[in-house]
Amino acid sequence: MALWQDEQPAANDAPRPAQSATVEGGLALKVRLHKRLLDVLNLSALERIPRETLRGEIRGEVRNLLADEKRLLSVPQVDQLIEDILDELLGLGALEPLLKDDSITDILINTHDKVYVERGGKLELTDVRFQDSRHLIRIVNKIVSAVGRRVDESQPMVDARLADGSRVNAIIPPLAVDGPLVSIRKFASKPIDIARLVDLGSITEDMALVLQMVVRARRNLLISGGTGSGKTTLLNALSAFIDQSERIVTIEDSAELQLQQPHVGRLETRPANIEERGEVTQRDLVRNSLRMRPDRIIVGEVRAGEAFDMLQAMNTGHEGSMTTVHANTARDALSRIEQMIGMAGLDIPARSVRGQIASAINVVVQVERMEDGRRRVVSISEVVGMEQDVVSMQEIFRFRRTGRGAKGEVLGDFEPTGIRPKFVEHMPARGLTLPLEMFNPARRA
């Protein structure tokens, strides 16, 4: 973003060149010009005009308005000003350069004058600013209105998505005490596949092959991890191994999955309207999806009572279904699923619930975002049944930490535990094979 000094005109009213600029001055000038352009432009025609054509048309108007403002800017400053105004008119204003930067994975806005980004797993403060809270809220409303949602004092929290699938969460006053808070989880312009995850060191080739075979063999998969650990990225990567002939139904709060198969039905929840009516929950969609003849059901993330319906689907013919859950370990993931079933308001004995979990979920993959910012698959575990009242699990692969490097990087090795999983027995019936030597603990994964 270009910066200009917000000066008062000289006594003779002659324009003066901009000198050492301030953020506030540049923002104030841009906002004033933006408002004046809105008065002279045909807004209904904006979306139909190519950006290059519009740039040429508004250049003259910008020069006239700058003359009225008694401001003299250099050619690069005028060009940058026009780009900023185009971003305000056609896009999301100051967020546009950050959204176009492929090195940024998260944009975190802590009120209008503090914007952080995540690069390489590390947070850094940017020089991006908004004029004030109203300016930021206007941008947020532009985002959420595009997907039929709203944010105001009566509904100050909202989940939405951008056109590319990037996830957006916003919370405004009175719940946000100091000003609007916005979080944007960006999606890569090119989806990250399993080969890229191997190159990044998030997973090894042996582990990737095992997960590929798990998906192709139609085993039910649960991906567990903390916020920002890469659960959805891994889910997207693994979905590429689903056969092209299968019908898939996806269910999400904000549609962000990027499945490549031709036969995909995408469902998205809907919040209540201003009259507190019309809400459609994930549980509603999971139950409805059973009537849509899916081969597999993919729930972006289970958070509450829909966990019960998801298990029912996995246990009644929808093999190969997948979902994610927030949890710190694979064991915790199963405990959280049990707790969520309790949220469904059903009076089911704990042993029966655990039996449902043990028969529905076959493999649990634990992912973690580590201190060095890298995401890794730290565990692949198999659910093997019940032992009395406890769900029995066995770990197949794990990441073993060995220390920290000179630059703070986490050091460690991926290794097999030596246990041969039971799901290997299902492979030959589906024409699949896995080399058993990959499970030998003497061989690193």
Task: List, for residues 380-404, the tens digit of each pLDDT value.
Answer: 999 999 998 899 999 999 999 999 9
Bridge partners (DSSP) listed for residue 368: 376
Bridge partners (DSSP) listed for residue 249: 265, 297
Instruction: Report which secondary-structure segment, H or E, holds 250.
Output: strand 248-252
Rounded Cα gap, residues 207 and 205, in angstroms:
6
Nearest one of 402, 398, 411, 392 to 210, comparing CA atoms: 398
Domain 194-439, second-level architecture:
3-Layer(aba) Sandwich (3.40)
pLDDT at res. 214? 95
pLDDT at res. 23? 45
Bridge partners (DSSP) listed for residue 365: 223, 380
pLDDT reading at 50 higher than 90: no
pLDDT reading at 39 higher than 70: no
Nearest one of 357, 248, 362, 268 to 308, comparing CA atoms: 357
Each domain of the chain, given as residue ranges in start order, spans 16-90, 95-185, 194-439
Rounded Cα gap, residues 56 and 35, in angstroms:
18
- When comparing pLDDT for 17 and 86, which is higher? 86
| Strand runs labelled E in 172-247 | 181-185, 221-225
- When comparing pLDDT for 56 and 230, which is higher? 230
Residue given tokens 């460690």 in the structure block: 412
170-195 tens-digit pLDDT = 999 999 999 999 999 887 767 789 99
pLDDT at res. 57? 72
CA dihedral 384, 388, 389, 395 (to 10 degrees): -30
Mean pLDDT over each residue of the chain, to the nearest integer: 84
CATH of domain 95-185: 3.30.450.370
The torsion angles phi and psi of 159, rounded to 5 degrees, stand at -110, 135
**Strand 221-225 to 322-326 pairing:** parallel
Nearest one of 330, 332, 274, 325 to 304, comparing CA atoms: 325
* DSSP helix/strand/coil, 207: helix
122-167 tens-digit pLDDT = 899 998 888 889 889 988 988 888 877 888 888 899 888 888 878 8
pLDDT at res. 71? 74
* DSSP helix/strand/coil, 113: coil
pLDDT at res. 266? 92
- The winner for highest mean pLDDT among 33-37, 83-87, 200-204 is 200-204
Rounded Cα gap, residues 301 and 251, in angstroms:
8
Rounded Cα gap, residues 314 and 64, in angstroms:
65
* DSSP helix/strand/coil, 297: strand
pLDDT at res. 40? 60
pLDDT at res. 347? 81
289-346 tens-digit pLDDT = 989 999 999 998 898 888 988 998 898 888 999 999 999 999 999 999 999 988 877 7
pTM: 0.76
| Strand runs labelled E in 1-90 | 16-17, 71-72
Length of the chain: 445
What's the whole-number mean pLDDT along residues 78-95? 77
pLDDT at res. 41? 61
Residue given tokens 């024409």 in the structure block: 431
Rounded Cα gap, residues 388 and 392, in angstroms:
9
pLDDT at res. 3? 27
Tell me if 374 sits within 8 A of 410, measured CB to CB: yes
pLDDT at res. 207? 96
- Count of CA atoms in the C-beta half-sphere (13 A) of 224: 21
The torsion angles phi and psi of 407, rounded to 5 degrees, stand at -100, 15
- Name the band, by pLDDT with cuts 50, 70 and 90, for residue 406: confident
pLDDT at res. 360? 94
Comparing 82-86, 101-105, 197-201, 384-388, the range with the smallest average pLDDT is 82-86
237-255 tens-digit pLDDT = 999 999 999 999 999 887 7
Nearest one of 102, 174, 104, 94 to 140, comparing CA atoms: 94
pLDDT reading at 444 higher than 90: no
- When comparing pLDDT for 409 and 366, which is higher? 366
Tell me if 150 sits within 8 A of 160, measured CB to CB: no
| Strand runs labelled E in 221-358 | 221-225, 248-252, 264-268, 296-299, 322-326
Comparing 1-5, 106-110, 300-304, 413-417, the range with the smallest average pLDDT is 1-5
- Name the band, by pLDDT with cuts 50, 70 and 90, for residue 46: low
Six-digit token pair at 30?
Answer: 């841009």
- Name the band, by pLDDT with cuts 50, 70 and 90, for residue 26: low
Rounded Cα gap, residues 285 and 348, in angstroms:
22
pLDDT at res. 355? 92
The residue type found at 263 is H
Instruction: Report which secondary-structure segment, H or E, holds 267.
Output: strand 264-268
